[in-house]
Amino acid sequence: MALKTPQEYLDSLRKLNLEVYLFGERVKDPVDNPIIRPSLNSVIMTYELAQDPKYAELMVVDSHMTGEKINRFTHIHQSTDDLVKKVKMQRLLGQKTAACFQRCVGMDAFNAVYSTTYETDQKYGTEYHARFKKFLEYVQREDLTVDGAMTDPKGDRGLSPSQQEDPDLFLHIVEKRADGIVVKGAKVHQTGIVNSHEVLVMPTISMTEEDKDYAVAFSVPSDTKGIKIIYGRQSCDTRKLEEGTLDRGNPKFGGHEALVIFDDVFVPTERIFMCEEYDFSGMLVERFAGFHRQSYGGCKVGVGDVLIGAAALVSDYNGTKKASHIKDKLIEMIHLNETLYCAGIACSSEGHPTVAGSYEIDMLLANICKQNVTRFPYEIARLAEDIAGGLFVTMPSEKDYRDPVLGGYIEKYLKGVASVPTIDRMKVLRLIENLTLGTAAVGYRTESMHGAGSPQAQRIMISRQSNLEVKKQLVKDILDIKG
Ligand code: SF4
Ligand code: FE
């Protein structure tokens, strides 16, 4: 079975025995928890679209290892065409969910670990690549969702992993056994972990020899003994516990992040993909970050499409659609959104083969892509708020709207254009609230800033890739300056 149906995916998640905590209590059934469920619905969409022949070209691909049809989220990119299709797939998913659909972190981790293990083996004669391929075949065959786990808590940012007062602030090896290793530490901001079958752990920064215990990569099932998941809060999250769906803004979809503790977790040898090869941790980090910076040129653009659509629709409902400044603001939003997409597509079509034969993005352009993402969604959100008017943060609740007496006043006084039902106007305003200030603002705004690395991380990469000497030489050539 290489493509799971949404139902099969749900059934497989129910079989996991995850240790998830939310509001101080263990969650008995994460699949049916009302706070978590919208994020699960977003991941389900990655399975659902793969079943639809209309989207087969983007969602389904032949495995380069087995030749089987697989979901692109488990694929190793074999060409620039694959890289471009990845971004298009992510834009599509963003459009369908208006949320983070979580499955990209695993896909980006597969591609980074695939090429890095190959090069590690070349230097050290290790067998990580073969092990990883075996694991990946299992992932593809079972159509699994995998959490790509990179970010450590990091403690004092001025100190390296081994210099920290508390040695667990970066995940590390605490014991080596004949049959595997034991690791301890944590990963923060873990996207989609509760909806994942496996967690694929990578180091978070480049390391030196003193930090070799921290240079570790592996995958284990997400319900492995010792893994504890503490679910992250989001603005307005408890609205999902209320009756009705209007006040949620996005009634069906969402995303999530969590703090994941690894409390002496055992990793069997066949699942270890890096073990003390500290000189390859930087390569792995750069590649994963590069792929995820490319990803944002797809997913954030898809969510941006929905936000632009919401701004346009609410201007119809407000009766402002003919105002020239509204038209101009919508044009500006589109310009910014498509500029993000341009960089996502450009870094993909300018991609190149790795030593392992898989394809990776152009690193400079992927970092430019993400640097733009740290800015433009904020401006797109600002313009959406401008067009919407203040009502999206002052509107009464759904409960008031449903009240037999109060509802009449709300219906009457919150009406915009006479032919549009008030409830429709309220729905769109709540969606704008959700995307700019509510649960989805995690994915659309703050994650645009910090996800796949904070802005300064991209600026360091841009500086490294900028090749200023070549540019200076251009000037010298034009001006006949020698030496
Ligand atoms: Fe995918 Fe975007 Fe979510 Fe990252 S933020 S997992 S790229 S949807
Ligand atoms: Fe992300």
**Residues comprising the binding site for FAD?**
191
- Dist. CA 282 → ligand 2 center (Å): 19
For residue 38, give the 3-state DSSP assignment: helix
Mean pLDDT of the 240-250 span: 97
pTM above 0.95, yes or no: yes
Q: Is the pLDDT assigned to residue 234 strictly greater than 70?
A: yes
User: 170 is written with which tokens?
Assistant: 């970066």
pLDDT value at residue 441: 85
pLDDT value at residue 172: 98
For residue 71, give the 3-state DSSP assignment: strand
Q: Is the pLDDT assigned to residue 17 strictly greater than 90?
A: yes
Q: CA Rg, the chain, in Å?
A: 24
Share above pLDDT 90 across residues of the chain, in percent, rounded to a whole number: 98
Banded pLDDT at 2 (limits 50, 70, 90)? confident
Residue 470 to residue 466: CA distance in whole angstroms: 9
Residue 70 to residue 63: CA distance in whole angstroms: 6
- The atom of ligand 1 lying closest to the CA of 94 is 8
Helices (H) and strands (E) in the chain, counts: 17, 14
- Dist. CA 286 → ligand 1 center (Å): 17
User: 186 is written with which tokens?
Assistant: 């944590």
Residue 246 to residue 140: CA distance in whole angstroms: 38
Cβ-based burial of 37 (10 A; exposed 0-12, middle 13-18, buried ≥19): middle
| Domain ranges (residues) in the chain | 6-277, 284-474
> 3-state DSSP helix/strand/coil percent for the chain, to nearest 5?
55, 15, 30
447 is catalytic: yes
CB 136 within 8 A of CB 65: yes
Mean of the per-residue pLDDT values of the chain:
97
pLDDT tens readout for residues 158-185:
999 999 999 999 999 999 999 999 999 9
347 is catalytic: no
Nearest ligand by distance to the CA of 73: 1
**C-alpha separations of 209 from 163, 171, 214, 252, 273 in Å:** 12, 16, 10, 48, 18
- The atom of ligand 1 lying closest to the CA of 300 is 2
104 is catalytic: yes
- The atom of ligand 1 lying closest to the CA of 105 is 6
Closest C-alpha residue for ligand 1 atom 1: 104
pLDDT value at residue 483: 81
Q: Taking CB atoms and a 6 Å cutoff, what residues make up the pocket around ligand 1?
A: 100-102, 104-105, 191, 295-296, 299, 443, 447, 451
Q: At what angle do helices 104-124 and 128-142 cross, to 10 degrees?
A: 160
Closest C-alpha residue for ligand 1 atom 5: 100
pLDDT value at residue 355: 98
Mean pLDDT of the 189-217 span: 97
Closest C-alpha residue for ligand 1 atom 6: 102
pLDDT value at residue 1: 62
Stated as kind and residue range, the H or E segment containing 108 is helix 104-124
Mean pLDDT of the 227-235 span: 97
Mean pLDDT of the 324-335 span: 98
- Dist. CA 413 → ligand 1 center (Å): 39
**Residues comprising the binding site?**
191
64 is catalytic: no
Give the residue, out of 292, 306, 373, 439, with the most ligand 1 atoms within 8 A of its beta carbon, to mutate for a pocket test. Answer: 292
> CB under 8 Å to 334, separation ≥6 — which residues?
308
128 is catalytic: no
Residue 103 to residue 62: CA distance in whole angstroms: 18
Beta bridge mates, 134: none
